[in-house]
Every structure is written in C-alpha cells, then in structure tokens.
Amino acid sequence: MKPISPETLKYFQERVAEANKGITHADFVAGVRAGTLTFIFPSTRPYQMIVGANRKKKFACWVIFYLVAPLAVVPLWAWQQGNNWLLFGILASYIGSVATAKTRSRRRQYQIGGWIGSACLLAWIFLGRHNYYTVFLTCAEFGSLFFMIADEVEEQLARDSLIENAEHFNAALENQLILIHRNR
C-alpha cells in the first residue's frame, strides 16, 4: 500500500482522537470479532504494529516470496530452458508487484490482479504456454498474487497483535497510530 498523502494524513490526525475516544481494549476486541469495528493505520504501516517474533517471521516469509523468489526461480527456469530471454520474467514479476502495491484499496488490488490474471489466461489459451507474453504475464500474476497475500497477512498479523496485547493497543491509541471506525 502506498503512503497516505499529507493532506489526507492531516485530515485523519484531526479526527483520530475523536474517533478513538472511549474505546477500551475489551470493546475493541469484541467489536473487531463481531465485525462492528474496523480500523486503519493512517500514519504507519501495519508491519510496524506486528508484535512477536513468530508473527514477524511469518510476514517476512511472504515478503520473501514476492521479493526474492523471482530472483531464484526465474534464473533457474531460464537456465533449464536454455533461454536467457526468460530472465525478463524477474522484471515482469516486480512490475506485477508494484502495479498492485500502488493502491491502498484492497478492491483495486483485486481488480489489478484480476486483469493480469485474465490476460495471462487468454495468453495461455491463444498463444500457448511457451510464448514470451504468456511467460511474462504469468510472472507478473505471481508477483501480484504474492504481494496481495503478503499485504493481507501483514494486516491480519497487526490486527492479531492489537487484539492479543492490551498494552500494545493502548500505546497505538495514545500515539494515534490507528483510527477506529464503527460500522453501522
């Protein structure tokens, strides 16, 4: 997810204290589990809210999938096929990740992944699996997919950290790192 613009951040900061007023950790936990409360991270990235070594390792594994895996898998594949042009799959994977990462909207991320996936499927059907367009679209789709998974895991782990640790939740409220929204 891209950073929030300074104007949007100022807007959120002016309203964070009011929106979070009167929320206790128990209310927060009950509301999140019941689906009556949601929250966003207006001034920080969710990974900064992850507490616990195991959670951080889990998130790091998903980040490695979309950042490092193309650097290992694509060269091996190009070597096995004896075709150096396949190395452009690394770039295609990163383009897929970046295209997905440029939006904060989860719905928009799914749309981008869907468009890349649809183009990939059409290329497989009409061009065959050994066509360069098919290969590069497949790499872009995997980059997009693994980024979306890492993004989902990041938010889930941050949410779990806030739910399980009252002190962490209270510190996030005091520092205005989360904005709580009541669903109607």
- In this model, does residue 135 exceed pLDDT 90? yes
Residues 110 and 129 in one domain: yes
If you ran DSSP here, which 8-state letter would residue 2 be given?
A: P
Residues 31 and 77 in one domain: no
Counts for the chain of helices (H) and strands (E), in that order: 8, 2
Residues 33 and 88 in one domain: no
Residues 41 and 1 in one domain: yes
Residues 97 and 140 in one domain: yes
Residues 27 and 37 in one domain: yes
Q: Using alpha carbons, select from 154, 147, 164, 138 the residue that is nearest to residue 57.
A: 154
Residues 75 and 155 in one domain: yes
Contact 92, 143 (CB under 8 A): yes
* Mean pLDDT across the chain: 86
Q: What is the pLDDT of residue 37?
A: 82
Q: What is the pLDDT of residue 172?
A: 84
For the question of whether the overall pTM of this predicted structure is more than 0.85, the answer is: no
Residues 97 and 176 in one domain: no
Tell me the residue type at 107.
Answer: R
Contact 9, 110 (CB under 8 A): no
Residues 85 and 20 in one domain: no
Q: Under DSSP, is residue 5 helix (H, G, I), strand (E, B) or coil? A: coil
Structural domain containing residue 134: 52-164
Residues 39 and 59 in one domain: no
Query: From start to end of 8-55, where are the E strands?
Result: 37-40
Contact 80, 127 (CB under 8 A): no
> What are φ and ψ of residue 61, in 5° steps?
-60, -40
Model confidence pLDDT, tens digit, residues 140-164: 999 999 999 999 999 899 999 999 9
What is the tally of structural domains in the chain?
A: 2
Q: Using alpha carbons, select from 76, 49, 57, 71 the residue that is nearest to residue 170.
A: 49
Residues 64 and 126 in one domain: yes
Residues 32 and 113 in one domain: no
> What's the rounded Cα separation, in Å, for the pair 124 and 83?
19
Contact 50, 157 (CB under 8 A): yes
Q: Angle at Cα 100 formed by Cα 54 and Cα 152, nearest 5°?
A: 30
